[in-house]
């Protein structure tokens, strides 16, 4: 039924219905998106076209657009028009987990994993910004304690920060270190070339491997606000443990905007 409605050549809204006219117009546009008549990246009919088609005011048309924007289905490009939202942004970063954590980056080149991500979009290391940095000692949350193989509630060192690529926030992260590792530059706001992983190795813990778990969920209001997420964009809930042989040395958790990263992996067949 909905597809038929969208295909009717002279779709009219019915002002006598209880449903507000702007919602009826939004319904019509939404049908076109859901039926696939309009695909991600496609431009919606312009305000003027829709005013003409439905015989309505610009204000009403704009309300219809706002309704769809609040649902996360469309985005407006000032001066150009309203577009069906892409799943992943054009300027999304490529995260290559098998590569970005490699030792040659952090030890030999002095580049942490974040900078490797920036390079994927041709951005320089100066594009990576951190803010809202918070350094403190806290009781280890359950998930973190389990991975660090310590009792839940044991005091650990925590570094919280928000990462931006240029102006756009991309992730909120917490890095947890056992207290006996949290020494020297690891307790400072800037951990130096190669970041935390280079410093941990210097303490005598060569990193052998990482285990990374990824889940998806909707953001909570704080995360939505801090990451400046548009409506309807989920977040990746990531937890990564760094190991020196069998000893976990760091547990890192992050909330990553779902539309700002594509995760890519390459695996040899034998």
Partner 1 sequence: MVMVIDTPIDRSSDRPAYKQIADRLRELIDSGRVRPGDRLPSESELMSETGVSRATARRGLGLLINEGRAVARTGEGVFATGQPKRLVNRDPARTLTDFREMVGAHQLQGPNAPAARNQGFDYDVTLRTLEEAPVGPDIAKHLGVDEGTIVFVRRRLVRLRPTGSELAFRPAKLADSYIPLEIARGRIRDERTGPGGLYARIEEQGHALTHFREELVFRMPGPRESHLLRLGQGVPVIQHTRIAFSGERPVECFRAVLAGDLHEFEYRIDAE
> Which residues of this chain interact with partner 1, rule CB under 8 A?
18-19, 34, 72, 87-88, 97-98, 101-103, 206-218, 220, 232-236, 258-259, 262-270
Nearest distance in Å: CB 52, partner 1 = 28
Q: What is the DSSP letter of 223?
A: H
How far are the Cα atoms of 45, 122, 212, 231 from residue 259, in angstroms, in the given order?
24, 18, 19, 11
* Pick 72 or 166: Cβ nearer partner 1: 72
CA dist 150 and 97 (Å) reads 26
Nearest distance in Å: CB 268, partner 1 = 5
Task: Provide the 10 A C-beta neighbour count for residue 86.
Answer: 13
What Rg do the C-alpha atoms of the chain give, in angstroms?
24
Nearest distance in Å: CB 250, partner 1 = 12
CA dist 156 and 228 (Å) reads 29
* Pick 53 or 97: Cβ nearer partner 1: 97
Nearest distance in Å: CB 232, partner 1 = 6
* Pick 183 or 218: Cβ nearer partner 1: 218
Query: Scanning the structure block, which residue is given the tokens 């610009």?
Result: 58
The tally of CA atoms less than 13 A away on the side-chain side of residue 260 is 21
CA dist 210 and 229 (Å) reads 29
Query: What does residue 77 show for φ and ψ, rounded to 5 degrees?
Result: -110, 115
Nearest distance in Å: CB 213, partner 1 = 5
* Pick 144 or 235: Cβ nearer partner 1: 235
* Pick 78 or 266: Cβ nearer partner 1: 266
Nearest distance in Å: CB 159, partner 1 = 20
* Pick 89 or 187: Cβ nearer partner 1: 89
CA dist 157 and 180 (Å) reads 9
Which helix H or strand E contains 25, and what residues bound it?
Answer: helix 21-34
Q: How far is CA 158 from the centre of its chain?
A: 21
Nearest distance in Å: CB 48, partner 1 = 29
What three-state secondary structure class fits 73? coil
């Amino acid at each position: 039924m909905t597809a038929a409605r969208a295909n009717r050549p002279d779709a009219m809204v019915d002002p006598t219905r209880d449903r507000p006219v702007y919602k009826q117009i939004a319904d019509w546009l939404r049908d076109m998106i859901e039926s696939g008549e309009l695909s991600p990246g496609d431009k919606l009919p312009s305000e003027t076209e829709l005013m003409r088609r439905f015989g309505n005011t610009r204000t009403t048309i704009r309300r219809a657009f706002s309704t769809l924007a609040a649902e996360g289905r469309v985005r407006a490009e000032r001066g150009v028009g309203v577009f069906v939202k892409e799943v992943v942004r054009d300027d999304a970063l490529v995260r290559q987990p098998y590569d970005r954590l490699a030792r040659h980056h952090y030890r030999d080149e002095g580049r942490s994993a974040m900078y490797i991500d920036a390079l994927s979009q041709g951005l320089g290391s100066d594009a990576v910004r951190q803010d809202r940095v918070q350094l403190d000692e806290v009781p280890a949350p359950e998930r973190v304690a389990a991975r660090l193989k310590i009792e839940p509630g044991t005091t650990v060192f925590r570094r919280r920060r928000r990462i931006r690529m240029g102006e756009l926030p991309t992730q909120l992260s917490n890095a947890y270190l056992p207290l006996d590792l949290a020494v020297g530059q690891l307790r400072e706001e800037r951990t130096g070339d190669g970041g935390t992983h280079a410093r941990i190795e210097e303490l005598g813990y060569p990193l052998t491997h990482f285990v990374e778990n990824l889940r998806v969920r909707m953001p909570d209001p704080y995360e939505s606000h801090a990451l400046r997420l548009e409506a309807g964009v989920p977040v990746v809930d990531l937890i990564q443990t760094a190991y020196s042989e069998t000893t976990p040395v760091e547990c890192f958790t992050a909330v990553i905007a779902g539309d700002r990263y594509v995760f890519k992996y390459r695996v040899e067949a034998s």
